[in-house]
Amino acid sequence: MKKLDTIKFSIILTTVFLVVLIIFAVMLPWLVTWYVQLAQRHESLATTMMVTCYPCAPFTAVVLLSLRKLLKNIQQKNLDKVQNSKLLKYMSISCLIISVITLIAGRYYLPFYIVAATFMFLSLIIFAFKSISDELFTDK
């Protein structure tokens, strides 16, 4: 696959994931209730999951929209260091916020600790990538 084809494919995937995020947000009460009944968990878990997932949704959208914009910049060969650095910073901070939200929720439902660790690691990777790209593209 050519480089441009993979970028186009990635842009399409980010759009698909944004649509899935919206559908997930709309269907969350039903999905969580279904899960709690299927897993035979306490009913308060449904509330915990919704109280955790809804605040994370806007930050997830920020990550996906920033990634989409970054990919479009690369596709159009727009390598504006300042704009791309801001997009990476937004992504990193959003992942960090999601990590904090899920870390707090982990006190009530242990699997959220795994989500928190995953988003913390993702935030670190994006921040490191931002730092590396800033260093590589600085005017010397």
pLDDT value of residue 104:
95
- The pTM of the full predicted model, rounded to 2 decimals, is 0.88
pLDDT value of residue 5:
87
Number of domains in the chain: 1
User: What digits encode the pLDDT tens for the residues 40-71?
Assistant: 888 888 889 999 999 999 999 999 999 999 99
pLDDT value of residue 133:
85
pLDDT value of residue 120:
97
DSSP 51-117: HHHHHHHHHHHHHHHHHHHHHHHHHTT---HHHHHHHHHHHHHHHHHHHHHHHHHTTTSTHHHHHHH
Q: Which domain holds residue 104?
A: 3-136
